[in-house]
Amino acid sequence: MPYKPSRWRQAGRILLKLAVVGLVLGVALVVYLDFYVRARFNEHTWSVPARVYGAPLELRAGGELEMNEVLWWLDRMGYRPVPEVAGPGDYRVGVNDIELFTRAYDFWDGAESARQLRLHFSGERLTRLEDRHGERVMSARLAPPSLGHISPVHAEDRVIERLESMPPTLVAGLVAVEDRRFFQHRGVSLVGIGRALQANLRSRRVEQGGSTLTQQLIKNMFLTADQSLWRKGIEAIMAVQLELHVDKETILEAYMNEVFIAQDGTRSIHGFGLAAQHFYGRPLNETSLAQQAMLIGMLRGPTFYSPVRNPERAMARRNLVLDVMHEQGVITANQHAQARREGLRLNPGMGQGPHAAALDLVRRQLRLWYREEVLSHDGLHIHTTIDIYAQDRAQAAMTRQLSALEQQYGIAAGSLQGALILADRSTGAVRAVIGGRNSIPGGFNRALDARRPVGSLLKPPLYLAAMESGQHWLTPVDDSPVIVVGRDGSEWTPTNFDLNSNGEVPMWEALALSYNQAAARAGMELGLGEVLDSIERLGYSRQLPVFPSVILGAVDMSPYDIAQIYQPMVSGGYLSPLTSIVAVTEPDGRVLGQFRVREQTVIDGAMAQSLRSGLALTAQAGTGAHAGRSLAPELKPAGKTGTSDGQRDSWFAGEAGHLLGVVWIGTDDNQALPLTGSTGSLRLWTDLMAEVARPTLEPDILHSSLRWISWHPDSPGDYWLGDCQTLRLAVRADAAMESARYRCGDDNRPQQGSPETESNGRWQWLRRWF
């Protein structure tokens, strides 16, 4: 009779076989995970999107930089006020001076070391820079501000930090709070698991986790966030294997760069380096003990303990972390007490809301040279021309003025929208871009994309073409009713804003008071083609409609388009394409691309100076007179108002000091408004320029082919050869000599208000209106 094993023996053999198979599979899994962990960890590179930096603050003696602006920058850049300046990031304010310790920074055009400076001010203006030894310093730069990043939606973002550069108290505090036995265990801590289990049983809820820092790193880098036993087992095996091949310092450094700390819109903030910049506006090595404890405390629940969303809860958690750091000997009793007294001191520029439209422009211009995947993953540094102070002031002025206009004119609250562009008038470097009343990342960028009728903003290119054809500011133009018959028999009958006609007037008056009939007649006599060519030559790259109404601005353009058209008109005739990018560098500082100013002469120098004098007259005594009255004379404002048909769009474009600015105000649903260019956009433009524009140092030298003529508002027909009356224009020499009745310095000149002077009704009305 054959031998038959018992059922128990058979079951035992099956179990043995299963155990052998399981052991083999387990060994295979361990071997695979070992290979996987080593390969993936050694090859791991963090996805770091391109980071965008604004223009650095330039400190130059004898400039127009004010003390309040410097203090604004120091606050925004995370500098800390201290009784005694000791290291980078410190500053002290005196009665008429600021002592500060700058931060070292590798600029794209060369590195600058940290240094101690003293800034002397007189009448609020920076007049002298000195080093710590009292020696004169010609100039210095603060490290550029971060504007944001360029990355795909839901992207991770981080600033990679080396362990040796991190504050020792932060590293020791992290270990004390999150994994006290980190330097004793081998990836898994049985003591930690037991302590967590005991605490959870005592509270009858999951209050603590038993994962080590190594396990947390494995989960963040390689695994999902689910809490299954299988996943936890895999995590534990991988943690042990990682510790077999990688030293503790490397693991700790990787963890501190990998860990998720906060969410900023669609951007996930990983690592302590970026978290310090986000929440405190300063490098990680300059954070205080209290700030380090706050960052450590947030690891337990980034949203739950967010100092922005839940400041009281975050403070309580921070203080608990400080208590642990004190108990574990990381900090002294004095440090503990001082840190607990410190407030939140969050970064005032957190969120970078005002920069959304500017970042949009940078992104668009970068795509002309770089692929999206390069910008999203290679960690490039984009150095731009954007001035965060101008951005901040522009957004504040936009919000303030739109609310004031709504209240003044009975417009529904919140219905007005606006957009503006600020650029350096000479170079075309863009300083600020505001895309709407509220700057929302990803929102509609009206500065670039809102194309609206521009009204009288196109009259300066018209009169430029007229002057290039041989006319000048004193040439008579006819401001009487005009009818233009189209090829299809249709009639175009433009009228002036006040529905009055003024007969024959000099060309300067037609521009300054924005007479539509005079412009329409002058444009048609000149030829529509000449007018369109003038606009295109000034930098407009889109197709213009071939209709007579284009002469009066019946064409849709964006504020960016208008800024490009006006740039050569206020720069002496040099066309410089508007640009926001200075240079692109690799993370190691190697320059990939440098974007230089490209100038092209599109207006004769004398013609440009004469044209600019007409725009200055418009801002002094024409429809833009609010600018002349409100701004300091040394800013030399010049520009033109624009109002679209039906008063749906209010515009102003012009220069003040070193800046060119274009402002649009209207509604997104194209409502008619009780606003003109003068009563709407001009007010916002003037308000902003008073804060951010600085006088230029260019000498006011008249071109050799031009002469000044001047006159008084009470007698606009009596011209003086020279600059000795209230109003003036730069006119061709032969025209000035022919038209001037008097010469500056003549003893027989009439006194203003005498019977010889004539009163002009139009100008009397204008002065009363303004």
Contact call for residues 347 and 278 (beta carbons, < 8 A): yes
Using one digit for the tens of pLDDT, what is the confidence trace for 140-179? 999 999 988 876 544 678 888 999 999 999 999 999 999 9
Q: What is the pLDDT of residue 207?
A: 47
674 occurs within a structural domain: no
Bridge-based pairing state of the strands 727-732 and 706-711: antiparallel
Structural domains of the chain, count = 3
The residue with greater pLDDT, 499 or 17, is 499
Residue 610: both structure tokens together: 């004469």
**Are 327 and 206 within one domain?**
yes
Domain endpoint, select from 143, 176, 210: 143
**Are 182 and 301 within one domain?**
yes
> Under 8 Å CB-to-CB from 400, ≥6 apart: which residues?
687
Q: Confidence band (pLDDT; 50, 70, 90) for 131?
A: very high
100 occurs within a structural domain: yes
Q: Confidence band (pLDDT; 50, 70, 90) for 756?
A: very low
- What is the distance between the alpha carbons of residues 101 and 85, in angstroms, rounded to a whole number? 7
Helix axis angle for 213-222 and 168-178, nearest 10°, is: 90
Q: Is 680 a residue whose pLDDT tops 50? A: yes
Contact call for residues 721 and 663 (beta carbons, < 8 A): no
444 occurs within a structural domain: no
The residue with greater pLDDT, 28 or 710, is 710
> Under 8 Å CB-to-CB from 203, ≥6 apart: which residues?
none
**Residues β-bridged to residue 384:** 581
- What is the distance between the alpha carbons of residues 285 and 337, in angstroms, rounded to a whole number? 21
Q: Report the SS3 class of residue 389.
A: helix
Cβ count near 475 (within 10 Å)? 19
612 occurs within a structural domain: no
725 occurs within a structural domain: yes
Least confident of 20-34, 399-413, 487-501: 20-34
323 occurs within a structural domain: yes
**Are 297 and 222 within one domain?**
yes
- CATH code: domain of residue 106: 3.30.2060.10
**Are 94 and 160 within one domain?**
no
**Residues β-bridged to residue 662:** 421, 653
**Are 284 and 243 within one domain?**
yes
**Are 209 and 318 within one domain?**
yes
pTM here is 0.86
- CATH code: domain of residue 278: 1.10.3810.10
**Are 156 and 280 within one domain?**
yes
Q: How far is CA 578 from CA 296, 567, 637, in A?
A: 44, 8, 20
Domain endpoint, select from 341, 369, 399: 341
Using one digit for the tens of pLDDT, what is the confidence trace for 479-524? 999 998 877 778 889 999 999 999 999 999 999 999 999 999 999 9
Helices (H), 469-558: 507-512, 516-526, 528-537
In 3D, which of 715, 713, 720 has the Cα closest to residue 736? 720
**Are 186 and 331 within one domain?**
yes
39 occurs within a structural domain: no
Q: Confidence band (pLDDT; 50, 70, 90) for 414?
A: very high
Q: How far is CA 329 from CA 164, 173, 175, 402, 759, in A?
A: 20, 9, 12, 56, 87
Q: Is 768 a residue whose pLDDT tops 60? A: no
Domain endpoint, select from 341, 359, 392: 341
| Domain hosting residue 167, numbered range | 152-341
Q: Is 443 a residue whose pLDDT tops 70? A: yes
Contact call for residues 601 and 625 (beta carbons, < 8 A): no
**Are 136 and 156 within one domain?**
no
Most confident range (mean pLDDT) of 63-72, 234-243, 603-612 is: 603-612
Using one digit for the tens of pLDDT, what is the confidence trace for 310-343? 999 999 999 999 999 999 999 999 999 999 999 9
Q: What is the pLDDT of residue 210?
A: 63
- Position 699: which residue type? P
* Widest CA span in the chain: 151
The residues annotated with a catalytic role in the active site are: 178, 456
Residue 676: both structure tokens together: 């003109």
Contact call for residues 506 and 473 (beta carbons, < 8 A): yes
- What is the distance between the alpha carbons of residues 672 and 656, in angstroms, rounded to a whole number? 29
296 occurs within a structural domain: yes
- Position 415: which residue type? S
> Under 8 Å CB-to-CB from 420, ≥6 apart: which residues?
394, 398, 432, 433, 434, 447, 559, 661, 662, 663, 664, 684, 685, 688
**Are 239 and 313 within one domain?**
yes
**Are 138 and 158 within one domain?**
no
**Are 239 and 96 within one domain?**
no
